[in-house]
A = this chain, B = another copy of it.
Amino acid sequence: MTAKSHLQWTAEALDILRVGSGFRLADVDPESAPGYSGDKARGEADLAAGVDELDEYQERLYAASRSEVTDSSVLLVLQAMDTAGKGGIIRHVVGSVDPQGVMLTAFKKPTKEELSHDFLWRVEKRVPQPGFIGVFDRSHYEDVLIGRVRSLAPADEIERRYGAINDFEKRLADAGTRVVKIMLYISPDEQKARLAERLERPDKYWKYNPGDIDERKLWPEYMKAYQVVLERTSTEYAPWHVVPANRKWYARLAVQALLLETLEAIDPQWPAATFDVEAEKARLAAT
């Protein structure tokens, strides 16, 4: 990358964090900062510097789509165990983008109506339009994560879903959506410290749910389910990226870099005027 804010990156985040064949989640160190040579202070400065770049790319993407010269869009899929920092990513990375170009969806426990449909039904409705950056806070992957760990569907149905997800994402990619899938990866000890903090601070109580401990006890089962997800659904057209997230500053910077590199690859251009500029100047002058 040539972008100013990325001089400390030794490689493209899209490459170095990508889940390829033979990937093992257990080999990733949640404390690490792959591809980035700077320290925390430098990382925070680079995050701030990236905001303007992201801002211009997003506006170009939006502008290009308004004039129908592109049907490109971006879909950022965020998955993680509780406390891994999805909220902070949305606040500090997604939140730095003009909200007029962002379509954010937080997928909660499915409603009765949602459960009566195929698991992709509610997801399909939230796919970003051309020009938009869609963000999924949790996603259809819950249906093969908690779905698998908690046996919320029969085993053969869970099995079917991996293929259905790949077909779905292939269709999105063919229609011009860059699907950027990110797992934020923390250690169980880090989660323990973050949950403990929520129990120490009255302004954090609302983020705590006793059910979080029940899920925490299933950590090994969740890691197995993630490993299967990464093996079965990291495709050419919609690869997964695992972002070590024990260090919040690195996770935020890495997600911003993944977004920046994705937009750089799209390389959206300001569209040409669809009207006669001189004629319009004359019309305006006459008013």
Contact = CB atoms under 8 A, between A and B. Distances in A.
A66 B213 contact: no
A26 to B, nearest CB: 19
* Chain A residues touching B, majority SS: helix
Contact of A199 (B137, B270, B284, B287): B284
Contacts of A277: 199, 205
Contacts of A216: 287
Contacts of A195: 284
A31 B104 CA distance: 36
B213 A280 contact: yes
Interface in A174-232: 192, 195-196, 199, 202-203, 205-208, 210, 213, 216-217
Contacts of A97: 95
Contacts of A239: none
B87 A95 contact: no
Nearest to A283: B213
Interface residues of A, number: 43
Nearest to A278: B199
Contact of A94 (B90, B99, B275, B284): B99
A68 to B, nearest CB: 11
A271 interface: yes
A8 interface: no
A100 interface: yes
Contacts of A94: 99
A124 to B, nearest CB: 18
A210 B87 contact: no
A142 B90 CA distance: 32
Contact of A99 (B67, B99, B217, B274): B99
A106 interface: yes
Contact of A100 (B87, B196, B205, B281): B87
A210 B100 contact: no
A280 B66 CA distance: 51
A287 B217 contact: yes
A69 B90 CA distance: 25
A199 B280 contact: yes
7 contacts: A94-B99, A95-B95, A199-B284, A203-B270, A208-B275, A213-B283, A216-B287
